[in-house]
Structures are given as structure tokens and as C-alpha cells.
Amino acid sequence: MQHKHRFFEQLVSAYANDLYRYAYWLCKQPTVAEDLVQETFTRAWKAIDNLKDEKAAKAWLITILRRENARMYEKYQPQLLEIEEAIFADDYHNEPSVQFEKQQLHQAIMELPTDYKEPLILQIMWGYSGDEIALQLDLKLATVNTRLFRARQQLKVLLTATKPNINSKTFQGDASK
């Protein structure tokens, strides 16, 4: 029993931040992401005896989080509130153009079909290799590689379609003035 507690504490300290980042990336709401991580660890604690290979703990926790996120949105009814824009410190990452690009990328990824979105997120957010993604999603490596390639291709199409077309005539004023 003591080993079980110690092992679980190690899991929490090793993966809590990563799980929060992943949950936040999925839902874009800090409090919801915290709830997802908490529920993930609650479910993990209840099922810790079912974890047969300690090396698979990371993938196991991600699976729990993904399923908990899906469960939450089955019953989730969002409340729409008007929120004032946050004031950001002078930082390159908070520049409107950078924020806009990040938002466009996130929206484009979320528009991808689930079959393409999941492997891409696992690779980008978690740094999983193709083999690890294949194991996590129970797919063949060739299928994972194909889905990653197609996801990137679709992202290119989506992102080039969202770039504004700037017409040079827009900036030409009346020369006689």
C-alpha cells in the first residue's frame, strides 16, 4: 500500500504540469483544465492497480485525460459571459499579431478531423514519436505517419486560406491630392 501511495505521488509530481498544459490546450479555460487534471488523477488513483507497466503511465494518464475531456463535453453547457480584454505586459508573445497567429493555428488544428488532430497534438504537445503515437492510438505506424502528413497538409491549406489577401490598390491613394 505504501508503494502505491509513493508511486502515485511520483506520477502527480512528474506529470501534473504536462497534463495541465495539454488540458488547457484542449479547452482553453484555466479552471476547466484544472478540473480535467484533477479528475484525471482521481480516476487514475481509483484504477492504479490496473496499471500493469509503470513505463506506460504517461500514455495511460493522457488517455484518461482525453476520455475525461470527451465525457465533460458530452454534458457541458457553456455559459456565455462578456469578459473584458486582459491587459498584457510588454512581451513579444503577447503582441496582437503573435496572439492572432497562435489563435489561428489553434483554430485550424481544432477544425481538423479527429483522426488527424489527435496524432498531431500528441506529436506537437507531448513530443511523442510516431511509434508512441501508434501505441497510444492503437494504430499502425504507417497509418500514424500518413495521418500526420495529411494533418500538416490540411493545416497548410487552412492557414493559407485564412491569411488576408492584401491588394496593392488598397494602399494607392489619389495622387492628385
pLDDT of 142-171, one tens digit each?
Answer: 999 999 999 999 989 988 876 654 333 433
Taking the C-alpha atoms of residue 11 and residue 9, their distance in angstroms, rounded to an integer, is 5
**pTM exceeds 0.85:** no
Q: Among the CATH numbers 1.10.1740.10, 3.40.50.410, 3.40.1350.10, 3.40.50.300, which is that of 1-76?
A: 1.10.1740.10
| Cβ burial, residue 150 (10 Å; 0-12/13-18/19+) | middle
Asked if the 95-164 domain carries CATH number 1.10.10.10, the reply is yes
DSSP count for the chain of H helices, then E strands: 7, 0
The Cα-based distances of 110 to 26, 39, 100 in angstroms read 9, 23, 15
Cβ atoms of 133 and 119 within 8 Å: the answer is yes
**Residue bearing cell 496572439:** 99
Q: Is the pLDDT of residue 2 over 80?
A: no
- pLDDT per residue as tens digits for the range 114-150: 899 889 988 887 888 999 899 888 899 999 999 999 9
Joined together, the cell numbers standing for residue 94 give 503577447
